[in-house]
A = this chain, B = another copy of it.
C-alpha cells in the first residue's frame, strides 16, 4: 500500500478549488470521526489506514486532496463536534490527543452545521423542507466558494417506508434537496434516499452522479469475500446464520424491527446474488448499549463438501463502527466529487465495492475491487 498521498498532489486536475462535504447526520459518530480523521491524516498525524483512495492505484486520479475538503451538514441534535470528539476518545474510538490536535477543524465544521428535520410536529411541508435544506446547501457552497458540494447521508437507518406513507422519508427529503441544489449524493445508509424513480430521474436530469446504498463495513464485507469462495470451490452452502451485537445510536435505531428489516435486506442481498439462492438461516441485529461504538458480528455457515460431508465455518468480527465507516465515507465523497467534475452522472455501479446494496455491478468483493480500479483509471484520463 502506498500512502504517500500522491492522489492528492497539488497540480492534479481539479485540486485547486475546494470541495464541500455535507453530512446528513453531521453530529453522529461516523461524521465526527470523518472530520477529525481527515484533519489528522491531512496533517500527517496518522497514516491513511482504511482509505483506499490514498493507495497507489489512485495516484494521479485527480481526487480532491484531503486538505481541500470543507465539512458541514444537517443534524437535529446540538452537542458540538469538539465535545462529540471527546466522547469518542473516552469510548476508545479516537486515539488520545487527536481531538485537541484537530479542535480547530472540528470547530470549523461545527459552525457549518444547520438544523435538519423534519422535527417533531414540524409544521413545514415536504416542499418547504426540501427548499430549506437546498438553501442550506447553496449557502454553504457560496459562503465557502466551493467548486461543488457532495451530500453524504450518515443518519440513522429509517424504517422501511409504508406504501401509503403521506410524506417522503427524511432521507429522501435530503436527497431531493441535494438534487435541487445540484449536489452529487452518497447514501451510506439503508434508507431510501435517492432510490425512488422520481428522484433518480431528477438526478439524471441534473447530470448528477450518485452512489449507494448502505456502507459495507463488517459482516457483509466478510460475506462478500467468503460467499464467492464457496461458489468457486463448488461447495454447497446449506445455511448462513448471523448475529450482530452493536451499541451506540445505530444499535438503538436497529432495535426497531422495521429498521432492522431495511438493514437485513442489504445483508441478505450479497448472499442471494453470489450463491444464486438464499440459504437457510437468519440475521439478528441486537442493541447492546454496553458495547458502545463497538460491534461484534458472528456468522455460522453450514456447508456440504464432497459426498455431502457436513462442514462448518464460523467467523467473529469485532470492529469499531465509526472507524470502519469514516475512511469509506471520505473515499466516497472524493470519488463522487471527482466523478461530478469529470462529467459523469447517474448511479455509479463501479462503487459497489463500498456498498451492501449497490446500484448494480458484481457481488463479490474482488470483482468489485477490480471495477473500482477501472473506475480509477477512467478518472485518471478524465478532464
Interface string of A347-383 (1 = CB under 8 A from B): 0000001000000000011110100000000000000
Copies in the complex: 4
Q: Is A144 an interface residue (CB 8 A)?
A: no
Give the Cβ gap from A116 to chain B, nearest Cβ, in Å: 25
Q: Is A124 an interface residue (CB 8 A)?
A: no
From B284, B307, B311, B323, A307 is in contact (CB under 8 Å) with B323
Q: Are A48 and B225 in contact (CB under 8 A)?
A: no
Q: Are A323 and B306 in contact (CB under 8 A)?
A: yes
Q: Are A315 and B318 in contact (CB under 8 A)?
A: no
Give the Cβ gap from A164 to chain B, nearest Cβ, in Å: 26
A226-B225, A235-B50 known; A311-B319 Cβ under 8 A: yes
A contact residues, total (Cβ < 8 Å): 79
What is the bound-complex CA distance between A298 and B55, given in angstroms? 30
Q: Are A243 and B298 in contact (CB under 8 A)?
A: yes
Q: Are B288 and A95 in contact (CB under 8 A)?
A: no
From B229, B300, B314, B365, A232 is in contact (CB under 8 Å) with B365
Q: Is A222 an interface residue (CB 8 A)?
A: yes
Question: Can you give 22 A-B contacts (C-beta < 8 A)?
Answer: A1-B236, A47-B236, A50-B233, A51-B234, A51-B306, A89-B96, A92-B92, A95-B308, A222-B313, A225-B226, A232-B369, A239-B291, A243-B243, A280-B290, A288-B302, A290-B302, A291-B302, A311-B318, A311-B320, A312-B318, A312-B319, A314-B315
Using a CB–CB cutoff of 8 Å, the interface residues on chain A facing chain B are 1, 33, 36-37, 40, 46-52, 54-55, 89-90, 92-96, 98, 221-222, 225-226, 228-229, 231-236, 238-239, 241, 243, 245, 276, 280-282, 284, 286, 288-291, 296, 298, 300, 302, 304-309, 311-320, 323-324, 326-327, 353, 364-367, 369
